[in-house]
Structure 1
Amino acid sequence: MDLYEIALRTIDGRACTLADYRGRVLLVVNVASRCAFTPQYAALEALYRRHVARGLSVLGFPCDQFGQQEPGDEAAIADFCASRYAVSFPMFAKTTVNGEEAHPLFRCLTAAAPGWLGGPVRWNFTKFLIDREGRVYRRYAPQTAPARLERAIRRLLG
């Protein structure tokens, strides 16, 4: 499946696809507001601000599949991200990343980059880096600090 054709819904309910981001380097992250990795929002925002003009888009997908760490609705999530971390990168509707109800985007991402343990997303703040042509470049574990992706992002940005 072409990543750019996958239907999405923004955190404010607008329908879109990844075609809106065609030609950009994408960092897709399943996020949560009550996770030990939640402070990564600040580092993700810093990466985004540093490289948005050169073609990076960080895309946040709230997920409540791991320990109910994202219990709020989209309005509460948007408020939390804005007030606590000044998130300005695009955020999307709550998303299921594993199982029979997994969103097609995450089915595609995990098939292309199964991770060293293979298969499903293991926890919140798993990161998928996608090149400008829509190819999954690499998957990063939740504990990988966003700053450690800097070199790969710069390489993909050219």
Structure 2
Amino acid sequence: MSTPFDFAADSQAGDKVGLGQYRGRVLLIVNTASKCGFTPQYAELESLYREYGERGLVVLGFPCNQFGRQEPGSAAEIGAFCEKNYGVSFPMFAKIDVNGANTHPLFAHLKSQARGVLGTRSIKWNFTKFLVKKDGSVYRRYAPRTAPRELRADIERLLAEPSPA
């Protein structure tokens, strides 16, 4: 069975990044946008990354322009915006689709493992979050309205689990 560690995505610089490099770590995977009402969540995502990064949490940001065209910029513009306005230091990737015919394979996998409200697969808006255990199993999906700080107890629980053999 596949896990998020089996996928790759393009960095903002256009390089292919294998997510296998994060094997054994807890992942918080988020579809993001720079012109959304939830955009201030970048600050809390960065805070979680700084607080728990040394213990094994990696936040991965995937810009998406599918919801209200709220991520219209280029990779360079998105990266500069995130760094300047929110001090983002966690890995950000190239813009992707999370729904439809061009859904990135990682998000197709995440959606198949953790469904949304009423069992839906589709992502409904920016800042949908997926928390992935050290073994690569998808622990839980969180709605855009769920503030990243509300994930602390779940993150701590997953970080405390033994690493897979």
Shorter-chain TM-score range: over 0.9
Tell me the percent identity: 56
**Among residues 124, 127, 130, which one is paired with 1:128 in the alignment?**
130
Aligned counterpart, 2:79:
78
Report the secondary structure of 1:4's partner residue.
helix
> In 2, distance between residues paired with 1:86 and 1:16?
22
> In 2, distance between residues paired with 1:50 and 1:4?
23
Matches within 5 A, 1:3-152: 3-117=4-118, 118-152=120-154
CA deviation map 1:36-70 (0-9, x unaligned):
00000000000000000000000000000000000
Normalising by structure 1, we get a TM-score of 0.98
> In 1, distance between residues paired with 2:3 and 2:38?
30
Report the secondary structure of 1:139's partner residue.
strand
Q: CA deviation at 1:20?
A: 1.2
- What is the identity, as a one-letter code, of the residue corresponding to 1:127? K
Report the secondary structure of 1:107's partner residue.
helix
> In 2, distance between residues paired with 1:85 and 1:3?
26
Q: Which runs of 5+ in 2 are unaligned?
A: 161-165
> In 1, distance between residues paired with 2:17 and 2:79?
18
Aligned counterpart, 2:163:
none
Q: Which runs of 5+ in 1 are unaligned?
A: none
Normalising by structure 2, we get a TM-score of 0.94
Q: CA deviation at 1:2?
A: 3.3
Check conservation: 2:28, 2:60, Cα contact below 8 A. yes
> In 2, distance between residues paired with 1:2 and 1:39?
29
Structure 1 consecutive aligned stretches of length 4 or more whose deviation exceeds 2 Å: none
Report the secondary structure of 2:83's partner residue.
helix
> In 2, distance between residues paired with 1:4 and 1:142?
23
Q: CA deviation at 1:27?
A: 0.1
> In 1, distance between residues paired with 2:117 and 2:127?
16
CA deviation map 1:60-85 (0-9, x unaligned):
00000000000001000000001000
Aligned-CA RMSD value: 0.7
- What is the identity, as a one-letter code, of the residue corresponding to 1:41? Y
Check conservation: 2:3, 2:137, Cα contact below 8 A. no
Q: CA deviation at 1:105?
A: 0.3
Q: CA deviation at 1:31?
A: 0.3
